[in-house]
Amino acid sequence: MNDDQLLRYSRHILLDEIGIEGQQKLLAAHVLVIGAGGLGSPVALYLGTAGIGTLTLVDDDTVDLTNLQRQIAHTLARVGEPKVESAAAAVRAINPEVRVVGLRERADAARLDVLVAEADLVIDCCDNFKTRHAVNAACVQHARPLVSGAAIGFDGQISVYDTRIAANPCYACIFPPDSTFQEARCATMGVFAPLVGIIGSMQSAEALKLLTGVGSSLAGRLQMLDARQMEWTDIRMPRNPTCAVCGVRPTDTQRS
């Protein structure tokens, strides 16, 4: 690191658990973020401020006036612009050293197979089950940790799906792809503005912890927030041995 970097990241470096070695890991990391909206905004901004080396943002949407109630990476001046370009501009304004790759597209399974393989860690900030399952399948296939969050109304949830450890579940273990879920979208259900900031900030924290090896992640735990009462519920989740995506095989062992 040069002198400017030592100064910029000094508050991380002062933490014994991170230090120079941990900050160098962040500077060398490549994180893939699916979605640049309510959750993706704080995720992109915090990862950018933390000095992630390469940040790939994937989203096919454009900035709309209704987004500005909660999607803090975007501004009134950028209404109508692709969200990935708007978010990239916000990150660069804070930390021009970060390499931000904005992909205006809705990634399908084939595309995710390529994008996930290129990343060290994936953060799911999308708003539909089909994409979530495609992201999860690619993460299992390429042994990449997945930090997943969701927020609607006053309810949020977050977990880490890291199947590099044989006992940990994947997203499909908890939310099977053949189950029937009612899709809830902000456009019809509404969302409490700070809720996406809370969940998105936690996603960023889990990602930085995983990349630096600090503490323990939320793998195997689903945390759910009721923001009306500001109450958290923590649920332990084992891997489903019959899961169609990551089902435990007799030869499975702990992977690193």
Query: What's the mean pLDDT when you consider all of the chain?
Result: 93
CB distance 145 to 160 below 8 Å: yes
CA atoms within 13 A on the CB side of 143: 7
7: its two tokens: 């100064």
Chain segment 233-247, per-residue pLDDT in tens: 999 999 999 999 998
Contact 256, 194 (CB under 8 A): no
- With respect to residue 243, please indicate whether it lies within any of the assigned structural domains: no
Does residue 4 fall inside a structural domain?
A: no
Distance of CA 194 to the CA centre of its chain: 17
Chain mean position to CA 50: 14
In a domain, 225, yes or no: yes
Could you list the residue range(s) of the whole structural domain that residue 57 is in? 9-236
* 250 belongs to a structural domain: no
Instruction: Report yes or no on 13 lying in a domain.
Output: yes
Compute the average pLDDT of residues 196-207: 98
Q: Flag whether 242 is in a domain.
A: no
Residue 154 in contact with residue 226, Cβ under 8 Å? yes
Catalytic positions: 186
CB 46 within 8 A of CB 26: no
Pairing outcome for strands 30-34 and 54-58: parallel
pLDDT band at 184 (very low <50, low <70, confident <90, very high): low
Give φ, ψ of 133 to 5 degrees: -70, -35
- 3 state DSSP class of 192: coil
Q: What is the mean pLDDT of residues 158-172?
A: 96
The pLDDT assigned to 178 comes to 83
Q: How many domains does the chain have?
A: 1
Per-residue confidence (pLDDT) for residue 255, from 0 to 100: 40
Structure-block tokens of residue 84: 């990935």
Q: Which of 34-38, 130-134, 188-192, 250-254 has the lowest mean pLDDT?
A: 250-254
Q: Does any domain span residue 255?
A: no
What sign results for the dihedral spanned by CA atoms 42, 47, 51, 52? Answer: negative
Q: Tell me, yes or no, whether 251 lies in a domain.
A: no
Mean pLDDT computed over 146-158: 97
The reported pLDDT for the residue numbered 118 is 97
Question: Closest Cα partner for 85 from 77, 74, 94?
Answer: 74
**CATH number where 219 lies:** 3.40.50.720
**Are 45 and 19 a contacting pair, CB within 8 Å?**
no
pLDDT surpassing 80 at residue 19:
yes
pTM, two decimals, is 0.93
d(C-alpha 236, C-alpha 246), whole Å: 18
pLDDT beyond 50 at 14: yes
Q: 75 or 254, which is more confident?
A: 75
